[in-house]
Structure 1
Amino acid sequence: MIREQLPALQVVLPLCGAALCAFIDERRTAWLIATLTSFAMPVIAVLLLIQVLHGGPVSYAFGGWEPPFGIEYRVDVVNAFLLVLVSLIAAVVMPYARQSVAAEIPENKQAWFYCMYLLCLCGLLGMAITADAFNAFVFMEISSLSTYVLIAMGSDRRALVASYQYLILGTIGATFYVIGVGLLFSMTGTLNFGDLAERIATVEATRPILAALAFITVGLCLKLALFPLHVWLPNAYALAPSVATAFIAASATKVAIYLLLRFFFSIYGAHFVFDTLPVTPILLVLSIAAMFAASAVAIYQDNVKRMLAYSSVAQVGYITLGIALASQTGLTGGIAHLFNHALMKGALFLALGSIAYRVGNCGMSEMAGIGRRMPVTMAAFVIGGMSLVGVPGTVGFVSKWYLALGAIEQGWWWLAFLIVASSLLAVVYIGKVVEVAWFREPSAKAARIGEAPVTMIVCTWVLAAACIVFGIDAELTAGVAGRAAEALLAGLR
């Protein structure tokens, strides 16, 4: 039955698509393969989510080897939510990519771009669906190696430096992670998440287990760009091709956050991590620092892509803040913001990609008056910016509301105030772009251009409209996020 093979198909299809793109090496065919594969992914992910919501977790054992002896793919409400997110972003990005990639990447490298994109998608989906700690590392490397190539394909020569910087830091993060996994294996004799959760209870107070948690936490925090381990991210986002930036910004850091959630709550357990160890104050300090420091730096950026890159560091701070609260409401806000940030940042970067398609870059001076020449594109940017701020009626408001409620439930009114205050910083840097684009005279270059191609506008507006739809009716996103938070707090034990 195809239904029984859905967990495997979620990973195998993009892997096979990547191989086809590499062998065919023809840009139009490669784009078609990547697009059809990307369209299949959300169908599979939604079917898995429906199965999980109605019938409980889905387990898939490879090669007939039952877990914990074989590799297991396990889908519950937590990672089913993430699979839907990553696959939906992929499906929206690919139709947009045809014209954007053709404009930014040489023709002889375009098929290779789609190959690397599908490998990255395969790695991200694999990290989300696997229930094996070492298998997660394998998929992490697949997604990371392909991401390095995607970034290096940027038209600016500095993209090579950004890619190399990410390679070095990404390798350090992966090494820390696999050292932690090795320590866990040496103490428990298993790599399966469920088996780890059972066996770790008898040895969790030992030094190797504590060291493993430290290594895994630092390694994953490098991958998810938690302040101050974020230094690779601004250059990577600013200099990568527009399609790669939109896809990576909306998905890559989210999967690393998911793995951190899985280790904190499902394997080690919330009681041990947050009650026994000083994880809450550490995460609180780093999250608040990210929210304010990264937003402050974003205000002074002249390149809008770099500005939004620093904004992503700040938004990661909101998600980890929800993790630090370790309560039903706070964790719901963090998981909801994981989904909502992907929508808003995807819309913003796709809008910037459309501007770069017409203007050539995303500097403030080149964007002067662009709102008069590209009003539909800039309207989508404004909606994404409003979501970033957290204006009521947008997705950003929903998740920040849950985070503020989670802080108030803990009696931390000061934290709720900081959430609101940090959001006001986003008003400043988004307001700068709006003022330049709508209220200044068009630059010489902007005066000669028109709207972006229809396909690019439609893809951008799909995400922009989602920012409004899920902001007005948050029952689906916040509801599933709440069930995911409940499942994480219950753990696997």
Structure 2
Amino acid sequence: MTEQLTILLVVIPLVFAPITAIFKSHKVTWSITLLVSITCFAISCLILSHVIDGSHVIYELGGWRPPWGIEYKIDSLNALIAVIVSGIALLSSIYAYASVPEEIGKQIYGLFYAAFQLCLLGLLGIALTGDIFNLFVFLEISSLSSYALISMGQDRKALTAAFSYLVLGTIGATFFLIGVGFLFAASGSLNIADIAERFESFDDMQLVVTAFIFILLGIGLKAAVFPLHSWLPNAYGYAPSVVSVFLSATATKVSIYVLIRVLFDLYPIAYWVEMLIPQILLSLGCVAVIYGSYRAWQQNEIKRLLAFSSVAQVGYIIIGLSLLSETGMIAGILHLFNHALIKATLFMGAGMVFYRAHTTYLHEIRGFGASMPWTFGAIVLAGLSLIGVPGTVGFVTKWYLLESAVAQQKWIVVAAIAIGSVFAIAYVWKIVDAMYFNSKRKLHISQVKSGDVSVAIAPRSMGIALWVGAIACLYFGLYTSIPTDAAQSVAKALLGAYTQGAN
């Protein structure tokens, strides 16, 4: 039964997306999207419960056995990514009920929600498939729908941001496809497990090295790995609020998942260790943490501040993967989950500020904290998680990272984490300072009716979604068993053969 459920994660949004596009009513299109999100989240949680102990769920499409047919092979890593994507989609759907009518033209409600479902379809498909070309197809489905979602923002800069993302995303996709083509020419297969099993028979071919470089560059662009991150700040900064929430928490995480599959499942670890890839990734990760945090501190607009912060957070994940230890791998996998919660919550808070004040520039919302105490309380809680305060999800990641770095005497990593955390304190405080302490003047709220004391109060649906995210940041910081068990299962599976060989 569980095997058949895996394909439903792709089929359900695929069936309902064109149906959604037919309707123009916001309530109808939103209701369909919410139903799709709830169903996908429930299925993802059920699958995770079956594989969290290290077992696998395999589904062969059309009854064709791999490597001739497409195989969906689900382990704890796939399932965790599916839970992240579908869970954030559910939160975003709840949040969208009031957010979308405020920021999206009424004539394109159906198209917007159809694009949202297609993006969900693509991201879930990437997580499930065991075929590298099928992975590329889903990668493009998610990317194309993302370009459309970003371009629907009211700010004209959203079109520029979407176009920039399209150009760089297309370059990344082209590099990835060229790499897949070279690898197919060398191996004669597109099934990841089959290629890995027969890798020794063709590992000395120049095509294999070339394929690896192209695939790595393509994924690096999609995942916004420093210095291939230039599309990210504008894309997240100018997109509609609900799009920023969804993409910031899922798109780069799924791309990093692809990177993990390539590095630890497709290519043998020893193969790319000889190419000094761990040292290169470790260096890029440390620079990303410092650079992203510094650029975030420089910003005067909340969404761009959070976007640059994402560059730093991707750096933390890359550091965890490049340490090649079980503790470091646990940190990297955990941060896929933890950062998704943190950044979704922060972007939801920024969206609620925009809903009320029609601006997210810090100098224009000075003293606004008193008007939205619950919203800014959630923002502060998520901000503390971003810093890594004990009791929050961010602390769990940094603890594992520091433990692994100290065990390997990687003092540069320790220094990068410390510097990044100091900058995180600075830019989170920048938001708090603007909200509570920076002005005694009365805030002018634009584009709303005057003469009403309850004017522009944020809707309850947005507040519910926001506080679900904020409470999750605290809950999973105190009770870490579910994501930690999944991360430990993944780390042991991916590093088992390598660590045994090292010993």
TM-score, with length taken from structure 1: 0.97
What is the Cα deviation at residue 53 of structure 1? Answer: 2.8
Give the conservation status (yes or no) of the 8 Å contact 2:97–2:461. no
The separation in 2 between residues aligned to 1:491 and 1:339, in whole angstroms, is 25
Which residue type is aligned with residue 46 of structure 2?
A: L
What is the Cα deviation at residue 490 of structure 1? Answer: 3.3
Evaluate the alpha carbon distance shift between residue 144 and residue 442 of structure 1 in structure 2; reply closer, same or farther with a 3 A threshold. Answer: farther
Give the conservation status (yes or no) of the 8 Å contact 2:386–2:424. yes
Residue 473 (str. 1) matches residue 479 (str. 2): yes
What is the Cα deviation at residue 54 of structure 1? Answer: 4.9
Residue 363 (str. 1) matches residue 361 (str. 2): yes
For 2:449, the equivalent position in structure 1 comes to none
Give the conservation status (yes or no) of the 8 Å contact 1:265–1:491. no
Which residue type is aligned with residue 264 of structure 2?
A: F
For 1:280, the equivalent position in structure 2 comes to 278
Evaluate the alpha carbon distance shift between residue 66 and residue 407 of structure 1 in structure 2; reply closer, same or farther with a 3 A threshold. Answer: same
What is the Cα deviation at residue 484 of structure 1? Answer: 1.0
Which residue type is aligned with residue 445 of structure 1?
A: H
Evaluate the alpha carbon distance shift between residue 217 and residue 55 of structure 1 in structure 2; reply closer, same or farther with a 3 A threshold. Answer: closer
What is the Cα deviation at residue 451 of structure 1? Answer: 4.1
Give the conservation status (yes or no) of the 8 Å contact 1:370–1:442. no
The separation in 1 between residues aligned to 2:484 and 2:268, in whole angstroms, is 23
For 2:450, the equivalent position in structure 1 comes to none
Instruction: Please give the root-mean-square deviation of Cα atoms over the aligned residues, in Å.
Output: 1.6
The separation in 2 between residues aligned to 1:372 and 1:474, in whole angstroms, is 33
For 1:433, the equivalent position in structure 2 comes to 431
Residue 101 (str. 1) matches residue 107 (str. 2): no
The separation in 2 between residues aligned to 1:168 and 1:209, in whole angstroms, is 27
Moved more, 290-299 or 370-379: 290-299
For 2:243, the equivalent position in structure 1 comes to 244
For 1:390, the equivalent position in structure 2 comes to 388
Which residue type is aligned with residue 490 of structure 1?
A: G
Aligned to 1:441, the other structure's residue is in SS state coil
Which residue type is aligned with residue 425 of structure 1?
A: F
Give the conservation status (yes or no) of the 8 Å contact 2:53–2:489. no
Residue 354 (str. 1) matches residue 352 (str. 2): yes
For 1:9, the equivalent position in structure 2 comes to 8
What is the Cα deviation at residue 367 of structure 1? Answer: 1.6
For 1:377, the equivalent position in structure 2 comes to 375
Evaluate the alpha carbon distance shift between residue 328 and residue 273 of structure 1 in structure 2; reply closer, same or farther with a 3 A threshold. Answer: same
What is the Cα deviation at residue 446 of structure 1? Answer: 4.8
Give the conservation status (yes or no) of the 8 Å contact 1:407–1:416. yes
What is the Cα deviation at residue 85 of structure 1? Answer: 0.8
Give the conservation status (yes or no) of the 8 Å contact 2:296–2:427. yes
Give the conservation status (yes or no) of the 8 Å contact 1:391–1:397. yes
Cα deviation, 1:201-222, whole Å, max 9, x if unaligned, reads 2222321111111111110000
Paired residue for 2:331, among 330, 333, 337? Answer: 333
Aligned residues: 491
For 2:397, the equivalent position in structure 1 comes to 399
The separation in 2 between residues aligned to 1:491 and 1:90, in whole angstroms, is 35
Evaluate the alpha carbon distance shift between residue 403 and residue 442 of structure 1 in structure 2; reply closer, same or farther with a 3 A threshold. Answer: farther
Moved more, 449-458 or 400-409: 449-458
What is the Cα deviation at residue 432 of structure 1? Answer: 0.5
For 2:127, the equivalent position in structure 1 comes to 128
For 2:180, the equivalent position in structure 1 comes to 181
Give the conservation status (yes or no) of the 8 Å contact 2:216–2:259. yes
Which residue type is aligned with residue 77 of structure 2?
A: V
The separation in 2 between residues aligned to 1:60 and 1:387, in whole angstroms, is 37
For 1:114, the equivalent position in structure 2 comes to 113
For 1:218, the equivalent position in structure 2 comes to 217
Which residue type is aligned with residue 37 of structure 2?
A: S
For 2:65, the equivalent position in structure 1 comes to 66
For 1:265, the equivalent position in structure 2 comes to 264
What is the Cα deviation at residue 26 of structure 1? Answer: 2.8
Moved more, 54-63 or 69-78: 54-63
For 1:45, the equivalent position in structure 2 comes to 44
Cα deviation, 1:9-64, whole Å, max 9, x if unaligned, reads 01111111211111233322111000000011111001111221357111111111
Moved more, 171-180 or 434-443: 434-443
Give the conservation status (yes or no) of the 8 Å contact 1:366–1:446. no
Paired residue for 1:488, among 490, 494, 502? Answer: 494
What is the Cα deviation at residue 95 of structure 1? Answer: 1.1
For 2:409, the equivalent position in structure 1 comes to 411
Aligned to 2:360, the other structure's residue is in SS state coil
Evaluate the alpha carbon distance shift between residue 107 and residue 28 of structure 1 in structure 2; reply closer, same or farther with a 3 A threshold. Answer: same
The separation in 1 between residues aligned to 2:316 and 2:66, in whole angstroms, is 35
The separation in 1 between residues aligned to 2:122 and 2:41, in whole angstroms, is 16
What is the Cα deviation at residue 165 of structure 1? Answer: 0.4
Which residue type is aligned with residue 185 of structure 1?
A: F
Give the conservation status (yes or no) of the 8 Å contact 1:405–1:416. no
What is the Cα deviation at residue 471 of structure 1? Answer: 0.6
The separation in 1 between residues aligned to 2:304 and 2:3, in whole angstroms, is 43
Evaluate the alpha carbon distance shift between residue 491 and residue 362 of structure 1 in structure 2; reply closer, same or farther with a 3 A threshold. Answer: farther
For 1:312, the equivalent position in structure 2 comes to 310
The separation in 2 between residues aligned to 1:478 and 1:400, in whole angstroms, is 13
What is the Cα deviation at residue 336 of structure 1? Answer: 0.5
Give the conservation status (yes or no) of the 8 Å contact 1:374–1:450. no
Give the conservation status (yes or no) of the 8 Å contact 1:85–1:339. yes
Give the conservation status (yes or no) of the 8 Å contact 2:222–2:255. yes
The separation in 2 between residues aligned to 1:443 and 1:426, in whole angstroms, is 29
The separation in 1 between residues aligned to 2:442 and 2:204, in whole angstroms, is 63
The separation in 1 between residues aligned to 2:377 and 2:234, in whole angstroms, is 26
The separation in 2 between residues aligned to 1:225 and 1:54, in whole angstroms, is 31
Cα deviation, 1:58-78, whole Å, max 9, x if unaligned, reads 111111111111011110111
Which residue type is aligned with residue 305 of structure 2?
A: M
Moved more, 17-26 or 96-105: 17-26
Aligned to 1:68, the other structure's residue is in SS state coil
Which residue type is aligned with residue 330 of structure 1?
A: G
Matches within 5 A, 1:298-309: 298-309=296-307
What is the Cα deviation at residue 269 of structure 1? Answer: 2.0
For 1:457, the equivalent position in structure 2 comes to 463
Give the conservation status (yes or no) of the 8 Å contact 2:153–2:239. yes
Aligned to 1:348, the other structure's residue is in SS state helix
Give the conservation status (yes or no) of the 8 Å contact 1:368–1:446. no
Q: Give unpaired runs (5+ residues) of structure 1.
A: none
Give the conservation status (yes or no) of the 8 Å contact 2:287–2:416. no
Which residue type is aligned with residue 422 of structure 1?
A: G
Cα deviation, 1:221-262, whole Å, max 9, x if unaligned, reads 000001110000000001000000000000010000001000
Evaluate the alpha carbon distance shift between residue 443 and residue 198 of structure 1 in structure 2; reply closer, same or farther with a 3 A threshold. Answer: farther
Cα deviation, 1:101-128, whole Å, max 9, x if unaligned, reads 0000110011111000000000000001
Which residue type is aligned with residue 103 of structure 1?
A: E
Aligned to 1:59, the other structure's residue is in SS state strand
Identity of aligned residues (%): 46
Give the conservation status (yes or no) of the 8 Å contact 1:270–1:326. no
The separation in 1 between residues aligned to 2:189 and 2:149, in whole angstroms, is 34
Which residue type is aligned with residue 485 of structure 1?
A: A
The separation in 1 between residues aligned to 2:485 and 2:355, in whole angstroms, is 38
Aligned to 2:72, the other structure's residue is in SS state strand
